[in-house]
Amino acid sequence: MTELLLTGMIVQWLVIIGLIVAVLALGRQVGLLHTRLAPAGALVTASGPKVGEFAPRLNLPTLTGDTLEVGGQRSRALLILFVSPTCPLCKALVPAARAMARSERQRLDLAFASDGGDTTSHGRYVADMEIEAWPYVQSFELGMRFEVAKLPYAVLIDAAGVLRGKGLVNSREHLESLLESMDSGYATIQDYLNAEPPEGLAREAASSSASSTNQSRS
């Protein structure tokens, strides 16, 4: 009886150790897969102004009675996040937009935009989301100019008034991809990943490949 119990315990421990090894191996494979996946940026739409073109110029009244200038020369880039008080994804994204605006405040201004509707409900939304520090506009015209069909949607206009990024967004990574578009000059992360390397890097890679081939032959 003692021998049977001992054998059963050994088998159980072997099974447990096997499961641990399998879990560790699976975790490693998941990690490798994650590193191989290309980063996903904002979902760029074909409608509306094209990235690289000058953005429409508008002067829009904010909820506080000030004016938001869209397009044209400005001291910093302008990120406009289109939201709605009835949009659950927007409510989840606003804190990320706030945090990014604070961390990038040296080069980026943030504004929120929505359609018309009840001004009172928009005012409550601004207070609930704690975005009183940033301009908030209600404008059908702004949404129509950028042909915003779904929310949350964002556009990034540089200090020269050029549209540098746009698209559907639902995470901070998507918002940051718009900044990457402005910094890199590519409309999307996918364009950047698919682009050919600069000529100098291409020559260096070709030289390295040729050197490796010659070493293998010798």
CATH number, residue 120: 3.40.30.10
Q: Indicate whether 137 belongs to any domain.
A: yes
3-state secondary structure of 187: coil
For residue 59, the tally of other CB atoms under 10 A from its CB is 10
Please, what is the angle between helix 172-184 and helix 88-103, to 10°?
Answer: 50
How many domains are contained in the chain? 1
Q: What is the pTM of this model?
A: 0.70
d(CA 62, CA 59): 10
pLDDT for residue 157: 98
Q: Indicate whether 2 belongs to any domain.
A: no
pLDDT for residue 33: 37
pLDDT for residue 44: 66
Q: Indicate whether 68 belongs to any domain.
A: yes
Range of the domain at 158: 58-192
For residue 39, the tally of other CB atoms under 10 A from its CB is 13
Structural element, H or E, at residue 138: strand 136-138
d(CA 218, CA 208): 15
Q: Amino acid letter at 117? A: G
Q: Is 155 exposed, middle or buried (0-12, 13-18, 19+ CB in 10 A)?
A: buried
For residue 198, say if its preceding peptide bond is cis, omega within 30 degrees of 0: no
Give 72's DSSP letter.
S
Q: Indicate whether 95 belongs to any domain.
A: yes
pLDDT for residue 184: 86
Q: Indicate whether 11 belongs to any domain.
A: no
Q: Does residue 80 come out as left (phi exceeding 0), alpha (psi in the -120 to 50 range) or beta?
A: beta
Find the largest Cα–Cα distance for the chain: 89
Q: Indicate whether 104 belongs to any domain.
A: yes
Q: ∠ CA(158), CA(177), CA(49), 5° rounding?
A: 50
Say how many Å lie between the first and final Cα of the chain, rounded: 68
Structure tokens at 186: 């590519």
Q: Indicate whether 121 belongs to any domain.
A: yes
Residues in the chain, pLDDT under 70: 1-6, 8, 11, 15, 24-44, 187-218
Q: Indicate whether 126 belongs to any domain.
A: yes
